Amino acid sequence: MDIKTFDDDAFCVDAESFFHLWCCDCQLRHLIVIEAIGKGADVFKKNKGRIAIAMARDDMPTKMSRKDNNIVLYKKKNGKTKK
């Protein structure tokens, strides 16, 4: 898969790092930990290997999960609460 065609906002991180992700949907902050593991991981890290990251929400299962768990999102627009 060519990650650049999958997500225009994809980015690269070091092979052993972390970052925080503010969820555009739930407004929670998630801690994402990155680490290369397995055969060749040490060499990859020593050579400053980088890993491309891209994320996307799967809308249909998200919608179904919210329905099953009675989760309703409210957004304020122009000072008015909207469902």
- How far is it, in rounded angstroms, from Cα 75 to Cα 73? 7
Spatial contact of 31 and 25, defined as CB atoms under 8 Å apart: no
Overall pTM surpassing 0.75 (yes/no): no
Express each pLDDT in 33-68 by its tens digit.
Answer: 988 889 999 998 899 888 888 777 788 888 888 888
- How far is it, in rounded angstroms, from Cα 48 to Cα 18? 15
